[in-house]
Amino acid sequence: MTAPAVTNRPAALAADSSTAGIDASCRLPLFMLFGGAAFWLVLGSIFGFIASLKFHKADFLADAAWLTFGRVYPASTNLLVYGFAIPVALGVALWMLARLGRVQLARPWLVTVGAKLWHIGVCVGLIAILAGEATGFEWLEMPRYAAVILLLAYLLIAVWAFSTHHARKERTLYPSQWFVLAALFWFPWIYSTATLLLQFFPVRGVTQAAIAWWYSGNLLFVWLALAGLASSFYFLPKLVGRPLQSSYLALFVFWTLILFGTWVGIPAGATLPAWMPTLSNMAAMMMVVPAAAVVLMVVQTTRGAKTACGGGPLCYMKFGTGALALSVLLLAASGLPFVNRFTDFTWFGTAKLQLWVYGFFAMTLFGAVYYILPRVAGFELPAAKAVRVHFWCGVIGTLLFALPLAIGGVLQGVKLANPDIPFTDVTKATLMFFRLGTMGELLILAGNLLFLFNIGAVLVRYYLAVCRAACADLTAPLPTAEVKP
Amino acid sequence: MKSSATVFLAAFLALAASWGGFVLAPQIQLGRSVQTVPLGSASLYPLARPGLAQQGLQVYRANGCVYCHTQQIGQEGAQADIYLAEAGTNVAATLAAITKINPEMAKPEVLSNLPRKIVEVADMNAAEPVVRELKAGGGRVEPVIVANGPDIARGWGKRRTVAQDYLQDYPVQLGTRRVGPDLANVGMRWTDPNWHYRHLYAPASALQDSKMPPYRYLFERRRMGQVASPDALQLTGEWAPPAGYEIVPKAEARALVAYLLSLRADAPLFEAPLTPPAGNTAPTNAPAPVVNPPVAAASAQ
């Protein structure tokens, strides 16, 4: 193992606004955010895998309350979004803000504390879900004591993100910064509204359901999209060495995404005043507009570029765009009344979300992390090959999970709509597809393990070097060592 | 966009709009809902669930039944079925009226086998003139409103669910996925608590080929005393406990089953009309009093 090279530079350099100085200022907070995120990601996919095995054998792990389907399943979705997606997006966002603003990250140690606090909140929430304390609202299962920790942690990170942005030396805004700023602002609003009105001062009746759907729609279709697109628009031009095509389209995407996306999420068959699902369906169809513009941007930006993607970050981002397009097509289709008659309340929705959350968001962010990590660590990824393997696991896994489930979902819906088909036959017909999906989940789990492996290896190597330097410091006869990171 | 302030303003406007639409507006529209009096009834609806059932709602939440079960029913529309209950004194006039309304039914033998459905019309407004006409012969006529749609045909409910049905619950768990059947009215379909206990303990023992996971941890296996406990589960075959042991529901299972039995959204409401079943003047979401094999079971599976 060779010692990290870039860390061996004079301390004076770390205080300036060179790229190396900026990367160094992000190091510890990003290690904290990415490391925890990778761990939760793997743990979440293990829970998800357990949950789906129960469809193969209902008896599987059925004797422990904490391992029942209704607990491991929300544990897996919550770990994917709160454990992985949010911290990883925050990490990438902080780094982009610093790099684009040409300033060092403000108060890295406070951001690190915020990151730790966030992971503590996730841990508390996870234990609560497994212990049967989940709230009963989908995507918002973590009970209020975990929610308070999460919100505080988020604010702690967001404040220093804003502060970094405020102190920027490069005043002109790049499109990614719009997306990041809007995302930073979006989450505290939706999360505090949902937590207050559903947990601290609960509203009555189906308004609870309306608020829960409003929240999850905004979290998944706006927040994740803002964070994911910020990364695409930053990294794609960088990776192909061409300017973003174009800022005007990016502005169009920004506006249409926040205007339409924020209304998405209420199922067509929801027991709510009829105007609400109708509005939500219309918004779902309108999401085609920003999605088409994103595809256009990505095609125009990368077209003709000589860069081969070779299983690296560029591949991840391109696949992410494809998954976004496919997912939005499914979303828009389920906005049409003659389609959602057959897709409502089926596996179709699960397929759509998997494409969105994993296919688009997670894959894009993996690409970003693989790009950033060597730079902030100061050395190459220990297992560069694993990046490529992870890519293929992610691609095949996502498709193998989402496509059968989308088809199976339609079949389920068609059969449900025919009351002459007994319910057990409906279940039997869809389980086949679901079982195919389990193989996809297994591949995704494998890919996630590779992600964890790479990040873990970076952290271990970095901290070993730090320890070694500290030891050398202690034992050195003269104060010549400047190897402190 | 040139400045961060513009970005924030844009985000603020977009989010404030949906906040007003999906958070504030339903609260204004529904937030002040109170119990109402169902059509043809004197008592209020919905009543709070009995205490045990309220605890059961929390067991339902804690164990995540909502990830496989919805509790919301849709309907495609409603129709009015017009029944002739008594032919009346002037049979000829009644027959003449039937001939006009539905010639196929205008046979004397129809009148000897009452009550019979004479015709289906779109709704109560369309039913009114038909009823008047049929009554010409002095007969007794009953229009009955029935809901349509696959959910109803499966026996998952008698009408669509409406906001009113959930007024008393926290958390409201409408659900988004039907891995299992809808449970909004399960208390009407499966009225026997012992069936529910068996189904929760070993779903496949209650329904062949069930894919629902078992909830054995809600039950206790204990050594049998001199006589079997009255609440021990009646299990046979592969599910039976070893000799000398019995399976009894824990407190959570009792609460959960009380909750399941309380699930019924069948009160005829103004926004979801339905003809109240004869003799049932107090629609309620309290447990159904009868303990017998459910009629709708066949269609519910």
Q: Which of B169, B215, B301 sits opposite A422 (nearest CB)?
A: B301
Is the pLDDT reported for residue A77 higher than 80? Answer: yes
Contact B172 A263 (CB under 8 A): no
Q: Is residue A180 part of a domain?
A: no
Nearest partner of A136 among A71, A79, A196, A85, judged by Cα: A71
Number of domains in chain A: 2
Domain boundary among A143, A172, A201: A172
Nearest partner of A91 among A143, A16, A41, judged by Cα: A41
Chain B CA closest to residue A408: B179
Distance in angstroms (rounded) separating the CA atoms of residues A451 and A444: 11
More confident residue, A58 or A187: A187
Is the pLDDT reported for residue B288 higher than 50? Answer: no
Provide the mean pLDDT of chain A. Answer: 93
**Chain A residues within 8 A of B207 when measuring between CB atoms:** 424
More confident residue, A11 or A231: A231
The pLDDT > 70 percentage for chain B reads 91
For B20, counting Cβ atoms within 10 Å of its Cβ (0-12 exposed, 13-18 middle, 19+ buried), the class is exposed
Q: Is residue A162 part of a domain?
A: yes
pLDDT at B201: 95
Is the pLDDT reported for residue A65 higher than 90? Answer: yes
pLDDT at A387: 95
- Among A94-98, B17-21, B284-288, where is mean pLDDT lowest? B284-288
Task: Identify the domain containing residue A98 by its residue range.
Answer: 18-172
More confident residue, B157 or B281: B157
pLDDT at A169: 93
pTM comes to 0.91
Q: Is residue A91 part of a domain?
A: yes
pLDDT tens-digit profile of A294-304? 999 999 999 88
Domain boundary among A172, A189, A221: A172
SS (H, E, C) B41-90: CCCCECCCCCHHHHHHHHHHHHCCHHHCCCCCCCCCEEEEEEEEEECCCC
pLDDT at A478: 65
Section A51-73 average pLDDT: 93
* ipTM of the prediction: 0.91
Section B163-191 average pLDDT: 94
Q: Is residue A183 part of a domain?
A: no
Name residues whose C-beta falls within 8 Å of residue B191's C-beta, 6 or more positions apart in sequence: B261, B288, B290, B291, B292, B294
CB atoms closer than 10 angstroms to residue A10: 7
Q: Is residue A423 part of a domain?
A: yes
Section B31-42 average pLDDT: 83
Q: Is residue A83 part of a domain?
A: yes
What DSSP character marks residue B104? G
pLDDT at A231: 97
Is the pLDDT reported for residue A55 higher than 50? Answer: yes
Q: Is residue A312 part of a domain?
A: no
Q: Does B162 touch chain A (CB under 8 A)?
A: yes
Is the pLDDT reported for residue A80 higher than 70? Answer: yes
Distance in angstroms (rounded) separating the CA atoms of residues B55 and B73: 24
Res. B276 pLDDT band, cuts 50 70 90: low
Domain boundary among A127, A152, A172: A172
pLDDT at A324: 98
Res. B131 pLDDT band, cuts 50 70 90: confident
Res. A238 pLDDT band, cuts 50 70 90: very high
pLDDT at A330: 97
Res. A422 pLDDT band, cuts 50 70 90: very high
CA A180 to chain centre: 14
pLDDT tens-digit profile of A444-475? 999 999 999 999 999 999 999 999 999 988 88
- Among A114-123, A380-389, B122-131, B236-245, where is mean pLDDT lowest? B122-131
Name residues whose C-beta falls within 8 Å of residue B114's C-beta, 6 or more positions apart in sequence: B84, B85, B86, B87
- For residue B129, give how far its alpha carbon lies from the nearest alpha carbon of chain A (Å): 30
pLDDT at A435: 84
Section A120-140 average pLDDT: 97
Res. A127 pLDDT band, cuts 50 70 90: very high
Is the pLDDT reported for residue B290 higher than 50? Answer: no
pLDDT at B297: 39
pLDDT at A13: 43
pLDDT tens-digit profile of A375-418? 999 999 988 899 999 999 999 999 999 999 999 999 999 999 99
Section A152-175 average pLDDT: 96
Is the pLDDT reported for residue A423 higher than 60? Answer: yes
Residues 186-225 of B with CB under 8 A from A: 203-204, 207-217
Q: Is residue A226 part of a domain?
A: no
pLDDT at A484: 52
pLDDT at A14: 43
pLDDT tens-digit profile of B212-229? 999 999 999 999 888 888
pLDDT at A482: 55
Chain A CA closest to residue B63: A70
pLDDT tens-digit profile of B149-167? 899 999 999 999 999 999 9
Contact A214 B160 (CB under 8 A): no
pLDDT at A332: 96
Asked if A443 contacts A396 with a C-beta cutoff of 8 angstroms, the reply is yes
Name residues whose C-beta falls within 8 Å of residue A35's C-beta, 6 or more positions apart in sequence: A455, A456, A459
Nearest partner of A26 among A93, A101, A100, A105, judged by Cα: A105
Is the pLDDT reported for residue B300 higher than 70? Answer: no
More confident residue, B291 or A373: A373
pLDDT at A11: 43
Asked if A75 contacts A126 with a C-beta cutoff of 8 angstroms, the reply is yes
Residue B121, SS3? strand
**Chain A residues within 8 A of B213 when measuring between CB atoms:** 54, 58-59, 62, 68-69
Res. B238 pLDDT band, cuts 50 70 90: confident
Section A96-121 average pLDDT: 96
Contact B174 A270 (CB under 8 A): yes
Contact A182 B11 (CB under 8 A): yes
Q: Which of B63, B72, B214 sits opposite A58 (nearest CB)?
A: B214
Is the pLDDT reported for residue B292 higher than 50? Answer: no
To probe the interface with B, which of A207, A251, A262, A414 has the most B CB atoms within 10 Å? A207
Distance in angstroms (rounded) separating the CA atoms of residues A194 and A199: 8
Geometric angle at alpha carbon A217, from A216 and A223, rounded to 5°: 90
pLDDT at A372: 96
Section A248-253 average pLDDT: 96
pLDDT at B31: 83
Res. A479 pLDDT band, cuts 50 70 90: low
Q: Which of B11, B18, B213 sits opposite A263 (nearest CB)?
A: B18
Is the pLDDT reported for residue A476 higher than 80? Answer: no
pLDDT at A480: 54
pLDDT tens-digit profile of B94-108? 888 888 888 888 887
Asked if B300 contacts B189 with a C-beta cutoff of 8 angstroms, the reply is yes
More confident residue, B238 or A124: A124
Dihedral sign for Cα B281, B285, B289, B291, please: positive
